[in-house]
Structure 1
Amino acid sequence: MGFPTRNFPVLFLSSLLLFLTNFNLLIPLSESASDYTSLVYKGCAKQSFSDPTGVYSQALSALFGSLAQQSSKSKFFKTTSGTGQTTISGLFQCRGDLSNADCYNCVSKLPQMVDSLCGKTIAARVQLLGCYLLYEVSGFAQISGMEMLYKTCGATNVAGSGFEERRDTAFSVLENGVVSGHGFYTTSYESMYVLGQCEGDLGDSDCSECVKSAVQRSQVECGSSISGQIYLHKCFISYNYYPNGVPRRSSSSSSSSSSSSSSSGTGQTTGKTVAIILGGAAGVGFLVICLLFTRGLMKKHDGM
């Protein structure tokens, strides 16, 4: 038993309007990116520089300006400012999955933060979630690239249930990934999300050793913690365990390596294209039904 022909346009029009009203509910929304400008840690030298003539301040200001300018077109940049004993070397690095605009936004906040957090010290490093900046006055004692600068471990423990095995397998994938990704890699494995990055001028071999060291530190320092971040001088890693599955991440948050980033972008573009096609088809259908409905009313009016 079908619908009466006379009522079909009205019923179909009502269904179509309901579809258009709820169309946006069919498109899944990406998880919003974490605040990449949040402070992770600061490292300030104990010694301040004496600057009666202002030469150090001028060199530091020029260094900061150069780093901020480069951050709009690069994710890593290293340079020097000043001459002789007043030479100051510095660099910035953004997380590999940040856009150029986000990188600039992140780095441009760092000079003021360095000044307010450390003052006029002979060396300083400030790490945000999405980027970091460091500088050293000429003659500052160098430290090992493997030296741990900061760690944080989640308060919740998930020992047992195969957690350690999943974590260690994800770490193994990460160790190989930073080499193929030339210094940056992130991936998901059985509810584990891991990320690793090395300083931009570190070679693949040294990067691999640095990340392996960070992984070992994480296993010892964080144990069965649900999450952790380990920052060494030349690299850092982070991991998170999601019992209900790794949430979807937006492009400013994370993606699975360079190649996966491209795949992720393609998927997002395809999703948008499908949404546009469906929306366009629904719009055309709506127009056709309106015309048919109007024509039916006119015929009915003429018949009367």
Structure 2
Amino acid sequence: MGVTRIPMFLLFLFVLFTSLELEPTHVAESASDYSTLVYKGCSKETFTDPNGVYSQALSALFGSLVSQSTKTKFYKATSGSGQNSITGLFQCRGDLTNSECYNCVSRLPVLCDKLCGKTIAARVQLLGCYLLYEVAGFSSQISGMQMVYKTCGATNAAGRGFEERRDTAFSMMENGVVGAHGFYTTSYQSLYVMGQCEGDVGDSDCGECVKNAVQRAQVECGSSISGQVFLHKCFVSYSYYPNGVPSRSSSFAGSSSSHSSGQNPGKTAAIILGGVAGLAFLVICLLFARSLKKKHEDY
């Protein structure tokens, strides 16, 4: 009487895969999506602080801003008094969670000190947030419409019609940012655009600022597949994704090539593992059935 033996590697596969929890794995978004440095602006003038008055006021200001970032995405405060006072603010990108906002803002005080030192005014912009401060009496004389930074993708869009599609997306964003009171994103034919104004800017002024930033982007970036334009009181950005806009875009990345097509590799792996486990189980069942049949025939 012969008995068909189940190959040991199939038995091993069955035990291994049936012991795994094949839940789809969610890939965590890298902190670099919002905490990468975009630009810095530092006053050329530093403050003399023999008694540590300014340092104490600045430290208190930073502490206040960071603590508020756990519950709001825009906050403005003043620390100190009279000529020793320092005013500052932070703003997070509108699509960040409270936790992401805090993680972003909490990096800024150290960066301000590292990048600018003890200057009487500074602004540091990360992908997802920015912080600025100025000592009392400092007059930046910067218009809200003044461009403080811009960058355009090195790759140009292939084919005709790209700029028309981009401008249509810009137009949708210009209208949307006013109705949404300062932050708006939208997708249109593989283009993802975003606009945001500083939190204390009114709707009408916000619309004008974003419109101005859009015009700068059109002129400065031309047919580049991505671009960012930061004015003093607002910014706009856009990215082109030939394979379709991912489920959650970070248009600050500067190039759509750095983003995935939106597929979840953890989920794909789970499906593959589940398929192999199922196949192994099927083979074992067939071999077992064949063994039983042979036993029956032998009797």
TM-score bucket (shorter structure):
0.7 to 0.9
* Alignment map for 1:164-243 (pairs within 5 Å): 164-242=163-241
Pick from 92, 95, 101 the counterpart of residue 94 of structure 1: 92
Identity %: 69
Tell whether 2:124 aligns with 1:129.
no
| Cα distance change of structure 1 residues 70 and 301 upon mapping to structure 2, 3 Å threshold | farther
Q: Does structure 2 retain, via aligned residues, the 8 Å contact 1:196–1:238?
A: yes
Q: Does structure 2 retain, via aligned residues, the 8 Å contact 1:31–1:247?
A: no
Structure-2 residue corresponding to 1:114: 112
Report the CA distance between 1:131 and its aligned residue: 0.6
Paired residue type of 1:119 = G
The two structures, once aligned, show a CA RMSD in angstroms of 4.2
Structure-1 residue corresponding to 2:53: 55
- 5+ residue gaps in structure 2? 1-9, 252-266, 268-276
Structure-1 residue corresponding to 2:36: 38
Task: Give the match's secondary structure for 2:38.
Answer: strand
Pick which of 206-215 and 151-160 moved more. 151-160
Q: Does structure 1 retain, via aligned residues, the 8 Å contact 2:70–2:101?
A: yes
Task: Give the match's secondary structure for 1:101.
Answer: helix
- 5+ residue gaps in structure 1? 1-12, 255-271, 273-282
Work out the CA distance in 2 between the residues paired with 1:197 and 1:30: 27
Task: Give the match's secondary structure for 1:187.
Answer: strand
Pick from 92, 103, 115 the counterpart of residue 101 of structure 2: 103
Q: Does structure 2 retain, via aligned residues, the 8 Å contact 1:30–1:250?
A: no
Q: TM-score, normalised by structure 1?
A: 0.74
Work out the CA distance in 2 between the residues paired with 1:186 and 1:24: 37
Task: Give the match's secondary structure for 2:33.
Answer: coil
Work out the CA distance in 1 between the residues paired with 2:239 and 2:28: 15
Structure-2 residue corresponding to 1:7: none
Q: TM-score, normalised by structure 2?
A: 0.76
Q: Does structure 1 retain, via aligned residues, the 8 Å contact 2:192–2:245?
A: no
**Residue-pair matches, total:** 274
Higher relative contact order (CA 8 A, sep 6+): 2
| Cα distance change of structure 1 residues 157 and 297 upon mapping to structure 2, 3 Å threshold | closer
Q: Does structure 2 retain, via aligned residues, the 8 Å contact 1:32–1:249?
A: no
Work out the CA distance in 1 between the residues paired with 2:229 and 2:146: 11
